[in-house]
């Protein structure tokens, strides 16, 4: 069955370190998204991609970057982790033509920055 997986599921790091969260989907979807979830803020969009070599900033993109070298993967990098980036991160994918906006979510990655 097609799926979307995130790794690691849990990570603790220190302020200033670089962190990469992986996201891999086997749906063959063109669209991929990264959200962060924080109490009182719901889900906020960090970055998104509509296809290979395409990346776009969301509403909370500062301090994050993504790259899309193939259809299946959209890794999220925190160049220099900050305590404000402690959060739960969700990756999602969708297909414009088929599902117009219905997102398939990964299980989430809980990141703690000390």
Partner 1 sequence: AQKVTQAQTEISVVEKEDVTLDCVYETRDTTYYLFWYKQPPSGELVFLIRRNSFDEQNEISGRYSWNFQKSTSSFNFTITASQVVDSAVYFCALTMNRDDKIIFGKGTRLHILP
* Chain positions contacting partner 1, by CB under 8 A: 31, 33, 35, 40-45, 48, 50, 58, 88, 90, 92, 94, 96, 100-105, 107-108
Instruction: Please state, in angstroms and rounded to a whole number, the distance separating the CA atoms of residues 90 and 107.
Output: 7
- Tell the smallest beta-carbon distance from residue 78 to partner 1 (Å): 21
CB of 80 to partner 1, least distance (A): 27
The minimum distance between CB 70 and partner 1, in angstroms, equals: 20
CB atoms within 10 A of CB 97: 6
Tell me how far apart the alpha carbons of residues 86 and 15 are, in angstroms, rounded to a whole number: 10
> Which DSSP string do the residues of 38-68 spell out, in sequence order?
ETTTEEEEEEEEEETTEEEE-TT-TTEEE--
Among residues 34 and 78, whose Cβ is nearest to partner 1? Answer: 34
Residue nearer to partner 1 on the CB measure, 77 or 104: 104
The closest of 75, 43, 40, 46 to 63, measured between CA atoms, is: 46
Q: How far is the CB of 44 from partner 1 (least distance, A)?
A: 8
Residue placing its CB nearer to partner 1 in the complex, 19 or 92: 92
């Amino acid at each position: 069955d097609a799926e979307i997986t995130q790794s690691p599921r849990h990570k603790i790091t220190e302020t200033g370190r670089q962190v990469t969260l992986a996201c891999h989907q086997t749906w063959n979807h063109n669209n991929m998204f990264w959200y962060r979830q924080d109490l009182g803020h719901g889900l906020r969009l960090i970055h998104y991609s509509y296809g290979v070599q395409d990346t776009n900033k969301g509403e909370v993109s500062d301090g994050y970057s993504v790259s899309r070298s193939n259809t299946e993967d959209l890794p999220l990098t925190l160049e220099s982790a900050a305590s404000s980036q402690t959060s739960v991160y969700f990756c999602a994918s969708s297909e414009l033509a088929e599902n117009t906006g219905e997102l398939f979510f990964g299980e989430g990655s809980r990141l703690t920055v000390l």
